[in-house]
Structure 1
Amino acid sequence: MAALRVTAQKLLQTNSAFSPLLAVPALSRACHHEPNFEYINVSKVGEKQNVGMIELNRPKALNALCDGLMAEVQTALKQFEADTDVGCIVLTGAGQKAFAAGADIKEMSGRQFQEVFGGNFLAHWSHLADTTKPVIAAVNGYALGGGCEIAMMCDIIYAGEKARFGQPEIALGTIPGAGGTQRLIRAVGKSLAMEMCLTGNPITAQEAQQAGLVSKVFPADQLVPEAVKTAEKIASHSKLVVAMAKEAVNASQEMTLREGLRFEKRIFHASFATNDRREGMAAFVEKRKADFTDS
Protein backbone atom coordinates (compact mmCIF):
# COMPACT_ATOMS: atom_id res chain seq x y z
CA MET A 1 0.00 0.00 0.00
CA ALA A 2 2.98 2.30 0.38
CA ALA A 3 3.12 2.70 -3.37
CA LEU A 4 -0.43 4.01 -3.28
CA ARG A 5 0.61 6.81 -0.95
CA VAL A 6 3.28 8.24 -3.20
CA THR A 7 2.84 11.98 -3.55
CA ALA A 8 2.08 13.74 -6.81
CA GLN A 9 5.44 15.46 -6.55
CA LYS A 10 7.31 12.17 -6.52
CA LEU A 11 5.19 10.85 -9.35
CA LEU A 12 5.91 13.90 -11.46
CA GLN A 13 9.63 13.71 -10.74
CA THR A 14 9.86 10.07 -11.85
CA ASN A 15 11.03 9.79 -15.44
CA SER A 16 11.56 6.05 -15.78
CA ALA A 17 9.54 3.66 -13.64
CA PHE A 18 6.01 4.92 -13.04
CA SER A 19 4.25 4.34 -9.78
CA PRO A 20 1.41 1.83 -10.32
CA LEU A 21 -1.29 4.46 -9.93
CA LEU A 22 -4.59 4.99 -11.60
CA ALA A 23 -4.91 8.08 -9.44
CA VAL A 24 -3.30 9.64 -6.39
CA PRO A 25 -5.33 8.44 -3.40
CA ALA A 26 -3.41 10.63 -0.95
CA LEU A 27 -4.79 13.66 -2.75
CA SER A 28 -8.26 12.27 -3.40
CA ARG A 29 -11.32 13.20 -1.42
CA ALA A 30 -14.89 11.96 -1.26
CA CYS A 31 -16.57 12.80 -4.53
CA HIS A 32 -20.30 13.45 -4.80
CA HIS A 33 -22.22 14.73 -7.79
CA GLU A 34 -23.37 18.34 -7.65
CA PRO A 35 -25.51 19.86 -10.41
CA ASN A 36 -23.37 23.01 -10.57
CA PHE A 37 -20.36 21.15 -11.97
CA GLU A 38 -18.09 20.97 -8.96
CA TYR A 39 -15.47 18.84 -10.70
CA ILE A 40 -15.47 20.11 -14.29
CA ASN A 41 -15.47 23.43 -16.13
CA VAL A 42 -17.87 23.71 -19.06
CA SER A 43 -17.95 26.43 -21.71
CA LYS A 44 -18.50 27.16 -25.38
CA VAL A 45 -15.43 28.37 -27.27
CA GLY A 46 -14.31 29.22 -30.78
CA GLU A 47 -14.93 32.23 -32.97
CA LYS A 48 -18.55 31.18 -33.49
CA GLN A 49 -18.98 29.65 -30.04
CA ASN A 50 -19.70 26.34 -31.74
CA VAL A 51 -17.21 24.18 -29.84
CA GLY A 52 -18.12 22.67 -26.49
CA MET A 53 -15.28 22.60 -23.94
CA ILE A 54 -15.18 20.20 -20.99
CA GLU A 55 -12.23 20.61 -18.64
CA LEU A 56 -11.68 18.01 -15.92
CA ASN A 57 -10.97 20.11 -12.86
CA ARG A 58 -9.51 18.17 -9.93
CA PRO A 59 -5.89 19.30 -10.38
CA LYS A 60 -4.85 18.48 -6.80
CA ALA A 61 -5.88 14.88 -7.46
CA LEU A 62 -4.40 14.92 -10.98
CA ASN A 63 -7.99 15.03 -12.29
CA ALA A 64 -8.78 11.59 -10.89
CA LEU A 65 -12.06 10.25 -12.28
CA CYS A 66 -14.41 9.91 -9.35
CA ASP A 67 -18.07 8.99 -9.85
CA GLY A 68 -19.16 12.58 -9.35
CA LEU A 69 -16.82 13.88 -12.02
CA MET A 70 -17.91 11.28 -14.56
CA ALA A 71 -21.57 11.98 -13.81
CA GLU A 72 -20.91 15.66 -14.50
CA VAL A 73 -19.15 14.81 -17.77
CA GLN A 74 -22.20 12.80 -18.80
CA THR A 75 -24.48 15.74 -18.00
CA ALA A 76 -22.28 18.17 -19.93
CA LEU A 77 -22.18 15.85 -22.94
CA LYS A 78 -25.98 15.62 -22.95
CA GLN A 79 -26.20 19.42 -22.84
CA PHE A 80 -23.83 19.78 -25.79
CA GLU A 81 -25.66 17.05 -27.70
CA ALA A 82 -28.87 19.06 -27.33
CA ASP A 83 -27.22 22.37 -28.25
CA THR A 84 -27.77 22.91 -31.99
CA ASP A 85 -24.95 25.48 -32.11
CA VAL A 86 -22.28 23.02 -30.96
CA GLY A 87 -20.71 20.92 -33.70
CA CYS A 88 -17.75 19.40 -31.86
CA ILE A 89 -16.54 18.91 -28.28
CA VAL A 90 -13.06 19.17 -26.75
CA LEU A 91 -12.24 17.23 -23.58
CA THR A 92 -9.13 18.23 -21.63
CA GLY A 93 -7.74 18.35 -18.10
CA ALA A 94 -6.99 21.37 -15.95
CA GLY A 95 -3.27 22.16 -15.83
CA GLN A 96 -0.45 20.49 -17.71
CA LYS A 97 0.45 17.78 -15.19
CA ALA A 98 -2.41 15.42 -15.97
CA PHE A 99 -5.26 14.90 -18.38
CA ALA A 100 -6.55 12.34 -15.89
CA ALA A 101 -4.38 10.09 -13.73
CA GLY A 102 -7.13 7.48 -13.70
CA ALA A 103 -10.04 6.32 -11.59
CA ASP A 104 -10.24 7.46 -7.97
CA ILE A 105 -8.64 4.53 -6.12
CA LYS A 106 -9.66 5.78 -2.68
CA GLU A 107 -13.26 5.76 -3.84
CA MET A 108 -12.91 2.36 -5.51
CA SER A 109 -10.80 0.38 -3.03
CA GLY A 110 -13.61 -0.62 -0.65
CA ARG A 111 -16.00 -1.97 -3.27
CA GLN A 112 -16.86 -5.67 -3.35
CA PHE A 113 -17.58 -8.04 -6.26
CA GLN A 114 -21.32 -8.16 -5.62
CA GLU A 115 -21.50 -4.37 -5.73
CA VAL A 116 -19.46 -3.80 -8.88
CA PHE A 117 -20.95 -6.75 -10.80
CA GLY A 118 -24.52 -6.19 -9.70
CA GLY A 119 -24.32 -2.45 -10.32
CA ASN A 120 -22.39 -2.76 -13.60
CA PHE A 121 -19.70 -0.46 -12.19
CA LEU A 122 -18.25 2.08 -14.68
CA ALA A 123 -20.99 1.38 -17.25
CA HIS A 124 -22.04 5.05 -17.28
CA TRP A 125 -18.58 6.03 -18.57
CA SER A 126 -19.56 4.69 -21.98
CA HIS A 127 -21.76 7.73 -22.65
CA LEU A 128 -18.59 9.47 -23.79
CA ALA A 129 -18.08 6.85 -26.51
CA ASP A 130 -21.76 6.97 -27.49
CA THR A 131 -21.91 10.74 -28.04
CA THR A 132 -23.01 11.43 -31.62
CA LYS A 133 -21.04 14.67 -31.92
CA PRO A 134 -17.27 14.29 -32.42
CA VAL A 135 -15.11 14.58 -29.30
CA ILE A 136 -11.43 15.55 -29.36
CA ALA A 137 -9.28 14.60 -26.37
CA ALA A 138 -6.55 17.18 -25.70
CA VAL A 139 -4.15 15.26 -23.46
CA ASN A 140 -1.50 17.09 -21.46
CA GLY A 141 0.52 15.16 -18.90
CA TYR A 142 -0.63 11.81 -17.54
CA ALA A 143 -3.43 9.78 -19.11
CA LEU A 144 -3.22 6.65 -16.98
CA GLY A 145 -5.72 3.87 -16.39
CA GLY A 146 -9.17 5.37 -16.73
CA GLY A 147 -7.59 8.54 -18.07
CA CYS A 148 -6.16 6.62 -21.02
CA GLU A 149 -9.48 4.83 -21.42
CA ILE A 150 -11.62 7.95 -21.63
CA ALA A 151 -9.14 9.47 -24.09
CA MET A 152 -9.63 6.39 -26.26
CA MET A 153 -13.41 6.84 -26.06
CA CYS A 154 -12.95 10.13 -27.88
CA ASP A 155 -12.82 10.31 -31.67
CA ILE A 156 -9.49 12.13 -32.02
CA ILE A 157 -6.59 12.33 -29.57
CA TYR A 158 -4.15 15.25 -29.62
CA ALA A 159 -1.29 15.12 -27.11
CA GLY A 160 1.06 17.58 -25.51
CA GLU A 161 4.69 16.70 -26.10
CA LYS A 162 5.15 15.55 -22.48
CA ALA A 163 1.98 13.46 -22.31
CA ARG A 164 2.16 9.88 -21.06
CA PHE A 165 -0.34 7.10 -21.76
CA GLY A 166 -0.58 3.93 -19.72
CA GLN A 167 -2.73 1.12 -18.27
CA PRO A 168 -1.11 0.42 -14.88
CA GLU A 169 -4.05 -1.46 -13.33
CA ILE A 170 -2.03 -4.69 -13.21
CA ALA A 171 0.06 -3.27 -10.34
CA LEU A 172 -3.12 -2.74 -8.33
CA GLY A 173 -4.23 -6.34 -8.69
CA THR A 174 -6.87 -5.70 -11.33
CA ILE A 175 -7.24 -5.07 -15.06
CA PRO A 176 -8.58 -2.16 -17.13
CA GLY A 177 -12.36 -1.95 -16.79
CA ALA A 178 -13.42 0.78 -19.21
CA GLY A 179 -12.06 -0.44 -22.53
CA GLY A 180 -8.32 -0.54 -21.91
CA THR A 181 -7.91 -4.14 -23.09
CA GLN A 182 -10.25 -3.64 -26.05
CA ARG A 183 -9.76 -0.18 -27.55
CA LEU A 184 -6.01 -0.13 -26.99
CA ILE A 185 -5.37 -3.22 -29.10
CA ARG A 186 -7.43 -1.73 -31.92
CA ALA A 187 -5.32 1.42 -31.77
CA VAL A 188 -1.78 0.12 -31.29
CA GLY A 189 -1.91 -3.60 -32.08
CA LYS A 190 -1.69 -6.70 -29.88
CA SER A 191 2.00 -6.65 -28.94
CA LEU A 192 2.18 -3.11 -27.59
CA ALA A 193 -1.28 -3.32 -26.00
CA MET A 194 -0.32 -6.55 -24.24
CA GLU A 195 2.97 -5.07 -23.05
CA MET A 196 1.25 -2.00 -21.65
CA CYS A 197 -1.48 -4.00 -19.89
CA LEU A 198 0.83 -6.68 -18.47
CA THR A 199 3.70 -4.46 -17.34
CA GLY A 200 1.85 -1.25 -16.54
CA ASN A 201 4.61 0.69 -18.29
CA PRO A 202 3.47 3.95 -19.94
CA ILE A 203 4.41 5.24 -23.38
CA THR A 204 5.34 8.78 -24.39
CA ALA A 205 3.31 11.06 -26.61
CA GLN A 206 5.75 10.44 -29.43
CA GLU A 207 5.51 6.67 -29.03
CA ALA A 208 1.72 6.96 -28.89
CA GLN A 209 1.70 8.90 -32.14
CA GLN A 210 4.03 6.41 -33.83
CA ALA A 211 1.80 3.54 -32.67
CA GLY A 212 -1.37 5.20 -33.95
CA LEU A 213 -2.98 6.04 -30.61
CA VAL A 214 -2.47 9.79 -31.08
CA SER A 215 -2.90 11.71 -34.33
CA LYS A 216 -0.84 14.82 -33.51
CA VAL A 217 1.60 16.05 -30.85
CA PHE A 218 2.00 19.73 -29.93
CA PRO A 219 3.92 21.83 -27.40
CA ALA A 220 1.87 21.85 -24.22
CA ASP A 221 0.81 25.49 -24.50
CA GLN A 222 -0.43 24.98 -28.06
CA LEU A 223 -2.37 21.77 -27.44
CA VAL A 224 -5.82 23.11 -26.50
CA PRO A 225 -5.81 25.94 -29.09
CA GLU A 226 -4.91 23.42 -31.79
CA ALA A 227 -7.66 21.06 -30.62
CA VAL A 228 -10.16 23.93 -30.71
CA LYS A 229 -8.99 24.88 -34.20
CA THR A 230 -9.67 21.36 -35.45
CA ALA A 231 -13.00 21.30 -33.60
CA GLU A 232 -14.00 24.56 -35.31
CA LYS A 233 -13.18 23.05 -38.69
CA ILE A 234 -15.35 20.03 -37.92
CA ALA A 235 -18.15 22.25 -36.60
CA SER A 236 -18.14 24.26 -39.84
CA HIS A 237 -19.47 21.23 -41.74
CA SER A 238 -22.95 19.78 -41.72
CA LYS A 239 -23.58 18.39 -38.23
CA LEU A 240 -25.89 15.80 -39.74
CA VAL A 241 -23.33 14.52 -42.22
CA VAL A 242 -20.50 14.70 -39.65
CA ALA A 243 -22.56 12.39 -37.40
CA MET A 244 -23.06 10.02 -40.34
CA ALA A 245 -19.33 9.97 -41.06
CA LYS A 246 -18.51 9.35 -37.40
CA GLU A 247 -20.96 6.46 -37.26
CA ALA A 248 -19.47 4.90 -40.38
CA VAL A 249 -15.88 5.14 -39.12
CA ASN A 250 -16.81 3.71 -35.70
CA ALA A 251 -18.73 0.86 -37.31
CA SER A 252 -15.52 -0.30 -38.98
CA GLN A 253 -14.21 -1.38 -35.57
CA GLU A 254 -16.95 -3.97 -35.18
CA MET A 255 -17.48 -5.28 -38.72
CA THR A 256 -15.66 -7.33 -41.30
CA LEU A 257 -14.36 -5.37 -44.28
CA ARG A 258 -17.20 -6.63 -46.46
CA GLU A 259 -19.82 -5.68 -43.87
CA GLY A 260 -18.17 -2.31 -43.31
CA LEU A 261 -18.08 -1.48 -47.00
CA ARG A 262 -21.76 -2.34 -47.30
CA PHE A 263 -22.58 -0.16 -44.28
CA GLU A 264 -20.50 2.73 -45.63
CA LYS A 265 -22.28 2.54 -48.98
CA ARG A 266 -25.70 2.75 -47.32
CA ILE A 267 -24.67 5.76 -45.25
CA PHE A 268 -23.23 7.37 -48.40
CA HIS A 269 -26.51 6.71 -50.22
CA ALA A 270 -28.44 8.15 -47.27
CA SER A 271 -26.50 11.41 -47.51
CA PHE A 272 -28.23 11.99 -50.87
CA ALA A 273 -31.49 12.44 -48.98
CA THR A 274 -30.12 15.47 -47.10
CA ASN A 275 -30.37 19.14 -47.97
CA ASP A 276 -26.73 19.56 -46.94
CA ARG A 277 -25.48 17.09 -49.54
CA ARG A 278 -27.31 19.06 -52.24
CA GLU A 279 -26.03 22.37 -50.87
CA GLY A 280 -22.45 21.12 -50.55
CA MET A 281 -22.26 19.89 -54.11
CA ALA A 282 -24.06 22.94 -55.49
CA ALA A 283 -21.64 25.25 -53.66
CA PHE A 284 -18.69 23.33 -55.10
CA VAL A 285 -20.02 23.60 -58.66
CA GLU A 286 -20.85 27.28 -58.18
CA LYS A 287 -17.47 27.98 -56.55
CA ARG A 288 -18.89 29.45 -53.34
CA LYS A 289 -18.90 28.58 -49.67
CA ALA A 290 -21.55 26.08 -48.64
CA ASP A 291 -24.29 27.24 -46.29
CA PHE A 292 -25.17 24.09 -44.37
CA THR A 293 -28.43 23.92 -42.44
CA ASP A 294 -27.87 20.58 -40.70
CA SER A 295 -30.80 19.08 -42.52
Structure 2
Amino acid sequence: MATPTVTRLVLRSAYNPRNLAGFIKFYSSQAPSYEFIKVEKAGEKKNVGLITLNRPKALNALCDKLVTEINDALKSFDKDETVGAIVLTGSEKAFAAGADIKEMANNTFSQNIQGQFLVGWDGVSRTTKPVIAAVNGYALGGGCEVAMMCDIIYAGDKARFAQPEVTIGTIPGAGGTQRLTRAVGKSKAMEIVLTGNQITAEEAEKAGLVSKVFPADKVVDEAIKLGEKISSHSQLTVAMAKDAVNTAYETTLQQGLNYEKKMFWGTFATADQKEGMSAFAEKRKPNFKNE
Protein backbone atom coordinates (compact mmCIF):
# COMPACT_ATOMS: atom_id res chain seq x y z
CA MET A 1 0.00 0.00 0.00
CA ALA A 2 1.32 3.47 -0.89
CA THR A 3 2.30 5.78 1.96
CA PRO A 4 0.46 9.16 2.32
CA THR A 5 3.58 10.93 1.03
CA VAL A 6 3.70 8.80 -2.12
CA THR A 7 -0.05 9.17 -2.62
CA ARG A 8 0.23 12.98 -2.43
CA LEU A 9 3.12 12.87 -4.89
CA VAL A 10 1.06 10.83 -7.35
CA LEU A 11 -1.88 13.24 -7.05
CA ARG A 12 0.35 16.27 -7.58
CA SER A 13 1.99 14.53 -10.53
CA ALA A 14 -1.37 14.10 -12.21
CA TYR A 15 -1.43 17.86 -12.64
CA ASN A 16 2.26 18.33 -13.35
CA PRO A 17 3.77 16.34 -16.25
CA ARG A 18 7.32 17.15 -15.13
CA ASN A 19 6.71 15.68 -11.68
CA LEU A 20 4.98 12.64 -13.16
CA ALA A 21 7.90 11.84 -15.45
CA GLY A 22 10.31 12.08 -12.53
CA PHE A 23 8.12 9.91 -10.34
CA ILE A 24 7.76 7.23 -13.01
CA LYS A 25 11.53 7.20 -13.54
CA PHE A 26 12.16 6.88 -9.77
CA TYR A 27 9.51 4.26 -9.18
CA SER A 28 10.46 2.09 -12.17
CA SER A 29 14.13 2.11 -11.11
CA GLN A 30 13.40 0.40 -7.81
CA ALA A 31 14.39 -3.27 -7.64
CA PRO A 32 11.57 -5.77 -7.14
CA SER A 33 11.10 -7.14 -3.65
CA TYR A 34 11.64 -10.87 -3.21
CA GLU A 35 10.88 -13.17 -0.29
CA PHE A 36 13.37 -15.98 -0.90
CA ILE A 37 16.24 -14.44 -2.89
CA LYS A 38 18.55 -11.44 -2.71
CA VAL A 39 19.43 -9.63 -5.92
CA GLU A 40 22.21 -7.14 -6.58
CA LYS A 41 24.83 -6.08 -9.09
CA ALA A 42 28.41 -7.05 -8.25
CA GLY A 43 31.91 -6.49 -9.56
CA GLU A 44 34.01 -3.36 -9.96
CA LYS A 45 31.82 -2.08 -12.79
CA LYS A 46 28.60 -3.55 -11.38
CA ASN A 47 28.30 -5.62 -14.54
CA VAL A 48 27.64 -9.00 -12.89
CA GLY A 49 24.16 -9.94 -11.68
CA LEU A 50 24.25 -11.73 -8.32
CA ILE A 51 21.30 -13.85 -7.17
CA THR A 52 21.56 -15.32 -3.67
CA LEU A 53 19.09 -17.95 -2.52
CA ASN A 54 17.80 -16.85 0.88
CA ARG A 55 15.63 -19.46 2.54
CA PRO A 56 18.03 -20.38 5.37
CA LYS A 57 15.65 -22.27 7.68
CA ALA A 58 14.91 -24.73 4.87
CA LEU A 59 18.54 -24.87 3.61
CA ASN A 60 17.31 -23.09 0.47
CA ALA A 61 14.93 -25.92 -0.43
CA LEU A 62 13.42 -25.13 -3.81
CA CYS A 63 9.74 -24.38 -3.34
CA ASP A 64 7.64 -23.10 -6.25
CA LYS A 65 7.84 -19.48 -5.12
CA LEU A 66 11.63 -19.59 -4.80
CA VAL A 67 11.98 -21.00 -8.32
CA THR A 68 9.56 -18.37 -9.65
CA GLU A 69 11.63 -15.63 -8.03
CA ILE A 70 14.86 -17.02 -9.49
CA ASN A 71 13.31 -17.09 -12.96
CA ASP A 72 12.04 -13.52 -12.58
CA ALA A 73 15.46 -12.23 -11.49
CA LEU A 74 17.17 -14.08 -14.34
CA LYS A 75 14.80 -12.51 -16.87
CA SER A 76 15.51 -9.05 -15.45
CA PHE A 77 19.28 -9.49 -15.65
CA ASP A 78 18.97 -11.01 -19.12
CA LYS A 79 17.31 -7.79 -20.31
CA ASP A 80 19.74 -5.49 -18.47
CA GLU A 81 22.32 -4.18 -20.95
CA THR A 82 24.73 -3.28 -18.14
CA VAL A 83 24.98 -6.93 -17.02
CA GLY A 84 27.18 -9.36 -18.95
CA ALA A 85 27.02 -12.44 -16.73
CA ILE A 86 25.06 -13.77 -13.77
CA VAL A 87 26.18 -15.57 -10.60
CA LEU A 88 23.74 -17.83 -8.74
CA THR A 89 24.66 -18.82 -5.19
CA GLY A 90 23.26 -19.82 -1.81
CA SER A 91 24.82 -19.79 1.66
CA GLU A 92 28.00 -21.42 2.95
CA LYS A 93 25.81 -24.13 4.47
CA ALA A 94 23.68 -24.90 1.44
CA PHE A 95 23.45 -23.90 -2.21
CA ALA A 96 20.09 -25.68 -2.23
CA ALA A 97 19.36 -28.87 -0.31
CA GLY A 98 16.87 -30.15 -2.87
CA ALA A 99 13.26 -29.57 -3.81
CA ASP A 100 10.73 -28.86 -1.08
CA ILE A 101 9.52 -32.38 -0.21
CA LYS A 102 6.56 -31.10 1.81
CA GLU A 103 5.29 -29.28 -1.26
CA MET A 104 5.30 -32.38 -3.48
CA ALA A 105 4.78 -35.34 -1.12
CA ASN A 106 1.04 -35.66 -1.78
CA ASN A 107 1.15 -35.09 -5.53
CA THR A 108 -0.49 -37.69 -7.75
CA PHE A 109 0.54 -38.85 -11.22
CA SER A 110 -2.42 -37.10 -12.82
CA GLN A 111 -1.73 -33.88 -10.91
CA ASN A 112 1.87 -33.90 -12.09
CA ILE A 113 0.78 -34.32 -15.71
CA GLN A 114 -2.04 -31.82 -15.64
CA GLY A 115 -0.05 -29.26 -13.68
CA GLN A 116 3.16 -29.88 -15.65
CA PHE A 117 5.06 -30.23 -12.38
CA LEU A 118 8.69 -28.97 -12.56
CA VAL A 119 8.28 -27.77 -16.15
CA GLY A 120 8.92 -24.17 -15.07
CA TRP A 121 12.22 -25.09 -13.41
CA ASP A 122 14.31 -24.64 -16.54
CA GLY A 123 14.58 -20.84 -16.38
CA VAL A 124 18.30 -21.06 -15.65
CA SER A 125 18.98 -23.09 -18.79
CA ARG A 126 16.89 -20.69 -20.91
CA THR A 127 18.86 -17.62 -19.87
CA THR A 128 20.79 -16.07 -22.77
CA LYS A 129 23.63 -14.64 -20.69
CA PRO A 130 26.15 -16.96 -19.04
CA VAL A 131 25.10 -18.16 -15.57
CA ILE A 132 27.76 -19.22 -13.08
CA ALA A 133 26.83 -21.36 -10.08
CA ALA A 134 28.88 -20.60 -6.96
CA VAL A 135 28.17 -23.67 -4.84
CA ASN A 136 28.85 -23.96 -1.13
CA GLY A 137 27.54 -26.63 1.20
CA TYR A 138 24.80 -28.94 -0.02
CA ALA A 139 23.71 -29.08 -3.66
CA LEU A 140 21.37 -32.04 -3.43
CA GLY A 141 18.58 -33.25 -5.70
CA GLY A 142 16.97 -30.19 -7.23
CA GLY A 143 19.85 -28.08 -5.95
CA CYS A 144 22.33 -30.17 -7.92
CA GLU A 145 20.02 -30.03 -10.94
CA VAL A 146 19.79 -26.22 -10.81
CA ALA A 147 23.58 -26.00 -10.51
CA MET A 148 23.90 -28.21 -13.60
CA MET A 149 21.53 -25.91 -15.51
CA CYS A 150 24.14 -23.19 -15.08
CA ASP A 151 26.87 -22.80 -17.68
CA ILE A 152 29.80 -23.02 -15.26
CA ILE A 153 30.04 -24.41 -11.73
CA TYR A 154 32.56 -23.12 -9.19
CA ALA A 155 32.51 -24.97 -5.88
CA GLY A 156 33.65 -24.26 -2.36
CA ASP A 157 35.90 -26.93 -0.87
CA LYS A 158 33.17 -28.07 1.52
CA ALA A 159 30.49 -28.42 -1.18
CA ARG A 160 28.61 -31.69 -1.54
CA PHE A 161 26.72 -32.85 -4.63
CA ALA A 162 24.12 -35.63 -4.85
CA GLN A 163 20.96 -36.92 -6.49
CA PRO A 164 19.38 -38.65 -3.47
CA GLU A 165 15.87 -39.03 -4.90
CA VAL A 166 16.12 -42.84 -4.96
CA THR A 167 16.33 -42.82 -1.15
CA ILE A 168 12.83 -41.35 -0.91
CA GLY A 169 11.24 -43.55 -3.55
CA THR A 170 11.49 -41.38 -6.65
CA ILE A 171 14.01 -40.32 -9.31
CA PRO A 172 15.45 -36.95 -10.43
CA GLY A 173 12.88 -34.95 -12.37
CA ALA A 174 14.62 -31.69 -13.35
CA GLY A 175 17.47 -33.06 -15.45
CA GLY A 176 19.47 -35.04 -12.90
CA THR A 177 19.67 -38.26 -14.91
CA GLN A 178 20.31 -36.37 -18.17
CA ARG A 179 22.70 -33.50 -17.43
CA LEU A 180 24.70 -35.52 -14.90
CA THR A 181 25.28 -38.34 -17.40
CA ARG A 182 26.49 -35.86 -20.01
CA ALA A 183 28.78 -34.19 -17.48
CA VAL A 184 30.41 -37.19 -15.78
CA GLY A 185 29.66 -40.19 -18.01
CA LYS A 186 27.36 -43.18 -17.61
CA SER A 187 29.19 -45.14 -14.93
CA LYS A 188 29.68 -42.26 -12.51
CA ALA A 189 26.16 -40.96 -13.11
CA MET A 190 24.73 -44.41 -12.42
CA GLU A 191 26.69 -44.64 -9.18
CA ILE A 192 25.47 -41.23 -8.00
CA VAL A 193 21.83 -41.68 -9.04
CA LEU A 194 21.39 -45.31 -7.94
CA THR A 195 23.02 -44.92 -4.52
CA GLY A 196 22.01 -41.39 -3.58
CA ASN A 197 25.52 -40.95 -2.17
CA GLN A 198 27.06 -37.49 -1.88
CA ILE A 199 30.32 -36.63 -3.64
CA THR A 200 32.81 -33.98 -2.53
CA ALA A 201 33.78 -30.87 -4.46
CA GLU A 202 37.13 -32.47 -5.30
CA GLU A 203 35.41 -35.59 -6.66
CA ALA A 204 33.02 -33.39 -8.65
CA GLU A 205 35.92 -31.47 -10.17
CA LYS A 206 37.76 -34.70 -11.03
CA ALA A 207 34.62 -36.08 -12.68
CA GLY A 208 34.11 -32.93 -14.76
CA LEU A 209 30.97 -31.71 -13.00
CA VAL A 210 32.76 -28.68 -11.51
CA SER A 211 35.23 -26.33 -13.22
CA LYS A 212 37.23 -25.23 -10.17
CA VAL A 213 37.27 -25.59 -6.39
CA PHE A 214 38.06 -22.72 -4.02
CA PRO A 215 38.01 -22.15 -0.25
CA ALA A 216 34.41 -21.74 0.85
CA ASP A 217 34.81 -18.05 1.69
CA LYS A 218 36.34 -17.28 -1.72
CA VAL A 219 34.10 -19.09 -4.18
CA VAL A 220 31.50 -16.32 -4.66
CA ASP A 221 34.22 -13.71 -5.19
CA GLU A 222 35.93 -15.97 -7.70
CA ALA A 223 32.65 -16.54 -9.54
CA ILE A 224 32.10 -12.77 -9.69
CA LYS A 225 35.64 -12.29 -11.07
CA LEU A 226 34.85 -14.85 -13.75
CA GLY A 227 31.61 -12.99 -14.49
CA GLU A 228 33.57 -9.74 -14.81
CA LYS A 229 35.97 -11.34 -17.28
CA ILE A 230 33.07 -12.63 -19.38
CA SER A 231 31.33 -9.24 -19.15
CA SER A 232 34.39 -7.54 -20.65
CA HIS A 233 33.63 -9.18 -23.99
CA SER A 234 30.86 -8.50 -26.48
CA GLN A 235 27.57 -9.73 -25.02
CA LEU A 236 26.44 -10.60 -28.52
CA THR A 237 29.52 -12.73 -29.23
CA VAL A 238 29.35 -14.37 -25.79
CA ALA A 239 25.72 -15.33 -26.41
CA MET A 240 26.65 -16.87 -29.77
CA ALA A 241 29.55 -18.79 -28.21
CA LYS A 242 27.33 -20.07 -25.40
CA ASP A 243 24.75 -21.20 -27.94
CA ALA A 244 27.41 -23.05 -29.92
CA VAL A 245 28.74 -24.88 -26.84
CA ASN A 246 25.20 -25.86 -25.82
CA THR A 247 24.67 -27.23 -29.32
CA ALA A 248 27.76 -29.42 -28.90
CA TYR A 249 26.26 -30.65 -25.63
CA GLU A 250 22.96 -31.60 -27.25
CA THR A 251 23.72 -32.79 -30.82
CA THR A 252 26.03 -35.06 -32.79
CA LEU A 253 29.58 -33.92 -33.62
CA GLN A 254 28.78 -33.28 -37.29
CA GLN A 255 25.65 -31.29 -36.46
CA GLY A 256 27.63 -29.29 -33.93
CA LEU A 257 30.46 -28.57 -36.37
CA ASN A 258 27.99 -27.34 -39.00
CA TYR A 259 26.24 -25.13 -36.44
CA GLU A 260 29.52 -23.73 -35.13
CA LYS A 261 30.67 -22.82 -38.64
CA LYS A 262 27.45 -20.90 -39.33
CA MET A 263 27.67 -19.08 -36.01
CA PHE A 264 31.30 -18.22 -36.75
CA TRP A 265 30.32 -16.84 -40.14
CA GLY A 266 27.51 -14.95 -38.46
CA THR A 267 29.89 -13.04 -36.19
CA PHE A 268 31.20 -11.28 -39.30
CA ALA A 269 27.84 -9.55 -39.64
CA THR A 270 28.36 -7.83 -36.28
CA ALA A 271 29.97 -4.48 -35.52
CA ASP A 272 31.72 -6.06 -32.54
CA GLN A 273 33.67 -8.45 -34.79
CA LYS A 274 34.93 -5.48 -36.82
CA GLU A 275 35.80 -3.58 -33.63
CA GLY A 276 37.49 -6.59 -32.01
CA MET A 277 39.72 -7.37 -34.96
CA SER A 278 40.53 -3.70 -35.56
CA ALA A 279 41.48 -3.28 -31.92
CA PHE A 280 43.73 -6.34 -32.12
CA ALA A 281 45.50 -4.98 -35.21
CA GLU A 282 45.86 -1.54 -33.62
CA LYS A 283 47.06 -3.03 -30.30
CA ARG A 284 44.36 -1.37 -28.23
CA LYS A 285 41.54 -2.47 -26.01
CA PRO A 286 38.29 -3.08 -27.96
CA ASN A 287 35.23 -0.95 -27.26
CA PHE A 288 32.38 -3.39 -27.80
CA LYS A 289 28.86 -2.00 -28.34
CA ASN A 290 27.02 -5.35 -28.33
CA GLU A 291 25.97 -4.78 -31.93
Give the TM-score of the pair, scaled to structure 2.
0.88
Task: Provide the rounded CA distance (Å) in 1 between the counterparts of 2:118 and 2:81.
Answer: 29
Q: What are the superposed Cα offsets for residues 175-199 of structure 1, whole Å, 9 maximum, x if unpaired?
A: 0000000000000000010011110
Counterpart of 2:40 in structure 1 is 43
CA displacement, residues 56-92 of structure 1 (integer Å, 9 cap, x when unaligned)? 0011111000000000001001100111101000000
Match of residue 149, structure 1, among 145, 151, 172? 145
Write the letter of the residue equivalent to 1:175. Answer: I
CA distance in 2, matches of 1:123, 1:56: 20
Q: Does 1:248 align with 2:226?
A: no
CA deviation profile, 1:145-186 (whole Å, cap 9, x unmatched):
000000000000000001000000001100000000000000
Q: Which has the higher contact order (CA 8 A, sep 6+)?
A: 1
**CA shift digits 1:119-138 (9 cap, x unpaired):** 11011111110100000000
Residue 254 (structure 1) shift: 1.6
Matched, 1:196 2:192: yes
Residue aligning to 1:77: 74
**TM-score if structure 1 supplies the norm length?**
0.87
Quote the sequence identity (%): 67
Deviation at 1:36, TM superposition (A): 2.2
Q: Do residues 115 (structure 1) and 85 (structure 2) align? A: no
Q: Are 1:278 and 2:248 counterparts?
A: no
How is 1:40-189 mapped onto 2 (pairs within 5 angstroms)? 40-93=37-90, 95-189=91-185
Query: Which of these residues, 192, 195, 202, is aligned with residue 206 of structure 1?
Result: 202
Which amino acid in the other structure matches residue 155 of structure 1? Answer: D
For 1:82 and 1:281, locate their aligned partners in 2 and report how far apart those are by CA, in whole Å.
27
Aligned equivalents of 1:41, 1:252: Cα separation in 2: 33
Runs of 5+ in structure 2 lacking a partner? 1-31
Q: Structure 2: how far apart are the matches of 1:117 and 1:198?
A: 25
Instruction: Provide the rounded CA distance (Å) in 1 between the counterparts of 2:78 and 2:132.
Output: 14
Q: Which structure 1 residue ranges, 5 or more long, are not aligned?
A: 1-34
In the TM superposition, structure 1's runs of 4+ consecutive aligned residues that sit over 2 Å from their partners are none
> How far apart, CA to CA, are the structure 2 residues paired with 1:248 and 1:133?
13
SS of residue matched to 2:77? helix
